[in-house]
Chain A
């Protein structure tokens, strides 16, 4: 799978719109400004994945992309443990940053992921004029790479590379650091490129 520069640009803009909406909802939830990077769009060989997704412990909230695009692949919010604890503290008014992840943190992580990803998919689907919905979330708190493997196994069964959109969301106060990854499967990827090319084509 190779992307030409125009396709890469279009996909990056697509991710940008999604991530911007996700960042806005996160900033509303936390009542503080959130910064985000322009999404990187990369085609990554599965054997090289450990160079892109680290093995540090993170909370990963995973959704399958559903709606008009059946089984369209996966979208993931990944946040380091400290960020999850920080966010739970902010939302529930609890304190203590040095604790283990508890059930409250887990449900907070899922809820934050849910709201952010719904915003992401809403915005991008509207752009394309289709319906994209998140499945119920699944959660893993472990080495990020280990959790990623299960997702990659689902999208890269017949191919040896995956398309990864990666956006980093940050904030200094509170110290938040999170990433959104989108891994469309080959079908959704083709659809996305086609729809984006139509969007960018000359008016007729």
Chain B
């Protein structure tokens, strides 16, 4: 818990972490990683995962780390709290290519985005808002209660949804 939002307690999720709940949550400095937010408006409930890589290839110890396992664990935990797939919408942020003059190996942002989009489509979940790709790092804050999203960038610009 920390006071990063300047609006009381909030949970900051590190690389590979995930969380489902009603409390404000966020991640700091998303680069190639993707923040997947699943939101159930009826229950003011949301899940957030700080996804690092597209595929788990059988690894299960840290489900938030990979797109496929993150999607499953968020949906499962939200279902346990009463959400149905039809009441859930998605927000995705991140997946940037941070490096100039780089070999492709460092630019996994694109692959992360594709993986997350494909998985959402397979689940029939609508993407309500996305801010992805580009060459810029982003910090994300989300308030499940109000469904409010704030994205801050390195150049100081800020958007709200």
Residues of A within 8 A of B (CB): 45-50, 53, 55, 57, 62, 64, 106, 110, 135-140, 142-154, 156-158, 160
Q: Is B21 an interface residue (CB 8 A)?
A: no
Contact of B100 with A140 in the complex, beta carbons under 8 Å: yes
Contact of A140 with B14 in the complex, beta carbons under 8 Å: no
List B contacts of A153 (CB < 8 A).
Answer: 32-33, 52-53, 108
| Chain B binding surface, main DSSP class | loop
A158 to B16, CA, bound (A): 12
B contact residues, range: 35 or more
Contact of B98 with A137 in the complex, beta carbons under 8 Å: no
Residues of B within 8 A of A (CB): 12-17, 27-33, 52-53, 59, 61-62, 65, 96, 98-103, 105-109, 135-139, 154
Contact of B99 with A160 in the complex, beta carbons under 8 Å: no
A45 to B14, CA, bound (A): 9
Contact of A146 with B96 in the complex, beta carbons under 8 Å: yes
List A contacts of B138 (CB < 8 A).
Answer: 146
List A contacts of B154 (CB < 8 A).
Answer: 57, 142-143, 146
List A contacts of B135 (CB < 8 A).
Answer: 140, 142
Contact of A150 with B106 in the complex, beta carbons under 8 Å: yes
Contact of B52 with A50 in the complex, beta carbons under 8 Å: no
The residue from B28, B101, B108 contacting A139, defined by CB atoms under 8 A apart: B101
The residue from A47, A55, A138, A142 contacting B15, defined by CB atoms under 8 A apart: A47
The residue from A149, A157, A158 contacting B32, defined by CB atoms under 8 A apart: A149
Can you pick out 9 interface pairs between chain A and chain B where the beta carbons lie within 8 Å of each other?
A55-B137, A144-B29, A145-B137, A152-B15, A154-B105, A156-B52, A158-B59, A160-B16, A160-B61
The residue from B14, B62, B106 contacting A48, defined by CB atoms under 8 A apart: B14
A135 to B31, CA, bound (A): 21
The residue from B31, B65, B106 contacting A142, defined by CB atoms under 8 A apart: B31
List B contacts of A48 (CB < 8 A).
Answer: 14
